[in-house]
Chains A and B, each alone.
Chain A
């Protein structure tokens, strides 16, 4: 199984699971709405995630307007500002990035790339989406209740999250947020179990684990991590709900709130932070690993070259996944926890840089001596490399405990995590949409609009977040509605804030062009055919495009090779699909 999968090795083990009869829908409702087909569920997940993501985008504009032009837009008061940053953060991290990578790409690609007819538990898969939708609606309801949504910051640190000095803290806002998270986690667990079992049990004959495309390795590892990490957030949310509604004191010590002694006592605010980051740090990699996997496949396909060091790439994904569970307290160096933890968590955090660096080397070494087609997916992959390397390297500042002390809670942190887990994964999401849209719809996205979208988004986002680090270095704290007069807010910093705001509005506008392209190309895009990128992986080998219910027609595909047989010496074309046997094997089979 650990052989280097190449064109020479074409052994095919027996199928692990029999082909099964799927649930067949009988009506429009069960085909398109309450669908059990992973491809439809994937589209439902993606459209919901993009819709709520647009809300987060608009919120980011409003925040930037306040920071660039403080006090000019009077409807953005301090309460609203904190509500905007909280909702923006939570939506982007959980309801957009996690949902889109796992619920969207996971659902679409796992069965297709593995040669399965569908997920192994289609009914639970359907429930997973509907719970996700419910979670999104509960979250959005926060905007319509008295007092508005919570303004506690996306980390929801108690005690302030449930006290009256915070917007939405003693009203429906925080309750809706916690309930929404609980619903999301229940829904995700249903989907997540599905993804894991499908990867382990639903693969086509010949699709050994070490022949799986890295996209699947990334999504699979991220899902296992999410199944282990989300329960910590679940528990923290339930306990905080109890503290607020039932008056328990899990996270609440004795407190004097605005001159009044509260009934709470004996709880620990730091306990919440440990639970939150035990989830929160793996969460970074839950978003990053699918992006790592997908971008590997984009680079390989569009550079017409096998991914360099496949086995190392797989191990790096697994090792990063495992290590990410013992680095969480690097978010808490100045939280007041025992300072000796700093030695341990700084060491684990910097160790994780090694497998991550190996991944970067292997991406760029895949470009080396490739045949690079500068398609839009490839452009986004290049944009990913630049922004991810930039954001990853600033992580070495913040992970290195003592360096973090002056920089933590400043704009440096905001710039770092936006670059590394905002811009970089979103570059991959865009690249992936341009890459797989032809399979999903049968048509190509428009090339010119795509190029404009790429350049404005990539350069604009870099111009937003690269200079922002220097505001943090200067000392400007994050989560300030306004900095006002201060040594860390000279006039030049104000000018930089204006510039960043203008860039943010520009990058936002470019996303409107992207949305227009998505809709316009549905009807007017070029016909794509079944395999426009001449790719090796199974989803491009379906009998019809878009793939039908059940994906494969009568016969399931059989896999003879790894996913990266590009430019194999002596092969007639520069790619050999995974389900294509070697010529000598074919002639043997014909002879017998």
Chain B
């Protein structure tokens, strides 16, 4: 009997915990509420299945536990029932997978008007690069990284000379405009992760990865590294500020270009 009660308790307490838990996602600050919705659908379907299975087990233990003289029913298989259960399961799986793939398609399709922003990870610091007046990022190479040129920009690429370099400071992005984050690392794996944006992606040395999002509200958000990058991993934090357009332009004016940086007009302006 204790077994039955505890199993029922496990089922109900889990549901109650879910409903009453103070530990819930941070208020969203990007367009990826689709992801939150898919999680909600998945919680409903899986929560129903979990409760049903555990309560069924509890009922079986209650109803069919051994008493002297009892004998089990002999039934090797029941094809109809097995077919029916497999079909219902398949429908449940499709109900979760279909919205999932639909949203994934949006996730991997970057809007053509997205502004590019480069994030460069290194142990244990975030740096950023924005396109300059020409709207284009210049090429870069890990081999070209040096103390004077910490992000490894190609000095012979004219497109990169007006790029705006933010070495170890805050990143600002304007609210309501899609941003394509180009992710690069010069040493080990990192992962650019802002919980409020829901999106994240690893940064891999030797290649450029990306994700996109549209910030939907202004505010200051913490950047965490989500891929183990050595002993300083938990200290690798940064800040992203989502600004109104005017504040953003204001901030942008104060940033240095690659040319200015190489000329030694280094000034920290955060």
Expressed in whole angstroms, the Cα–Cα distance for A6 and B60 within the complex equals 25
Nearest CB in chain A to that of B51: its residue: A389
Expressed in whole angstroms, the Cα–Cα distance for A370 and B199 within the complex equals 48
Q: Does B261 contact A (CB under 8 A)?
A: no
Expressed in whole angstroms, the Cα–Cα distance for A566 and B65 within the complex equals 16
Q: Does A369 contact B (CB under 8 A)?
A: yes
The answer to whether A306 and B76 touch (CB under 8 A), given A254-B205, A386-B7, is yes
Contacts of B97 in A (CB 8 A): 346-347, 350, 400
Expressed in whole angstroms, the Cα–Cα distance for A477 and B224 within the complex equals 8
Q: Does B259 contact A (CB under 8 A)?
A: no
Q: Does B270 contact A (CB under 8 A)?
A: no
B48-69: which residues lie under 8 A (CB-CB) from chain A? 49-50, 53-54, 56-57, 60-61, 64-66
Contacts of A335 in B (CB 8 A): 202, 204
Cross-interface CB contact of A409 among B65, B77, B186, B193, cutoff 8 Å: B193
Contacts of B232 in A (CB 8 A): 78, 165
Q: Are A483 and B108 in contact (CB under 8 A)?
A: no
Contacts of B54 in A (CB 8 A): 385-386, 389
Q: Are A371 and B64 in contact (CB under 8 A)?
A: yes
Nearest CB of chain B from residue A246's CB, rounded to whole Å? 19
Contacts of A358 in B (CB 8 A): 82, 85-86, 89
Contact-residue size bin, chain B (C-beta under 8 Å from the other chain): 35 or more
Nearest CB of chain B from residue A478's CB, rounded to whole Å? 8
Q: Are B145 and A350 in contact (CB under 8 A)?
A: no
Q: Are B42 and A567 in contact (CB under 8 A)?
A: no
Expressed in whole angstroms, the Cα–Cα distance for A451 and B46 within the complex equals 30
Expressed in whole angstroms, the Cα–Cα distance for A371 and B81 within the complex equals 21
Q: Does A372 contact B (CB under 8 A)?
A: yes
Expressed in whole angstroms, the Cα–Cα distance for A484 and B85 within the complex equals 47
Q: Mark B184-220, 1 if CB is under 8 A from A, else 0.
A: 0011110101011011111111110100000000000
Q: Are B35 and A405 in contact (CB under 8 A)?
A: yes
Q: Are B23 and A306 in contact (CB under 8 A)?
A: no
Q: Does A475 contact B (CB under 8 A)?
A: yes
Q: Does B12 contact A (CB under 8 A)?
A: no
Cross-interface CB contact of B93 among A354, A483, A484, cutoff 8 Å: A354
The answer to whether A406 and B74 touch (CB under 8 A), given A255-B186, A364-B57, is no
Q: Does A256 contact B (CB under 8 A)?
A: yes
Q: Does A527 contact B (CB under 8 A)?
A: no
Q: Are A484 and B234 in contact (CB under 8 A)?
A: yes
B219-243: which residues lie under 8 A (CB-CB) from chain A? 221-222, 224-234
Cross-interface CB contact of B226 among A255, A258, A372, A477, cutoff 8 Å: A477
Contacts of A371 in B (CB 8 A): 64, 66, 70-72
Nearest CB of chain A from residue B199's CB, rounded to whole Å? 6
Q: Does B38 contact A (CB under 8 A)?
A: yes
Nearest CB of chain B from residue A161's CB, rounded to whole Å? 9
The answer to whether A574 and B71 touch (CB under 8 A), given A401-B101, A475-B195, is yes
Q: Does A10 contact B (CB under 8 A)?
A: no
Query: Counting chain A CB atoms within 10 Å of each CB, which of B93, B207, B230 scores highest?
Result: B230
Q: Are A574 and B72 in contact (CB under 8 A)?
A: yes
B82-126: which residues lie under 8 A (CB-CB) from chain A? 82, 85-86, 89-90, 93, 96-97, 100-101, 103-105, 107-108, 122-123
Nearest CB of chain B from residue A258's CB, rounded to whole Å? 7
Q: Are B204 and A270 in contact (CB under 8 A)?
A: yes
Cross-interface CB contact of B207 among A163, A261, A336, cutoff 8 Å: A336
Q: Which stretch in A22-30, A337-345, A439-447 binds the other chain?
A: A337-345
11 A-B residue pairs with Cβ-Cβ distance under 8 Å, sorted by A, are: A255-B142, A257-B123, A372-B60, A379-B3, A385-B57, A386-B10, A397-B42, A405-B198, A467-B17, A492-B23, A568-B74
The interface of chain A, by Cβ under 8 A from chain B, is: 4, 6, 78-79, 82, 151-153, 157, 159-160, 163, 165-167, 169, 253-259, 261, 265-270, 303-306, 308-312, 334-336, 339-340, 342-343, 346-347, 350-351, 353-354, 357-358, 360-362, 364-365, 367-374, 379, 382, 385-386, 389-390, 393-394, 396-397, 400-403, 405-410, 459, 462, 466-467, 470-471, 473-475, 477, 479-484, 486-488, 492-493, 496, 564, 566-569, 574
7 smallest CB-CB distances across A and B, nearest first, come from A253-B206, A165-B230, A475-B195, A336-B209, A369-B73, A305-B72, A470-B23
The interface of chain B, by Cβ under 8 A from chain A, is: 3, 6-7, 10, 14, 17, 21-26, 32, 34-35, 38-39, 42, 45-46, 49-50, 53-54, 56-57, 60-61, 64-66, 70-78, 81-82, 85-86, 89-90, 93, 96-97, 100-101, 103-105, 107-108, 122-123, 141-143, 145, 147, 152, 183, 186-189, 191, 193, 195-196, 198-207, 209, 221-222, 224-234
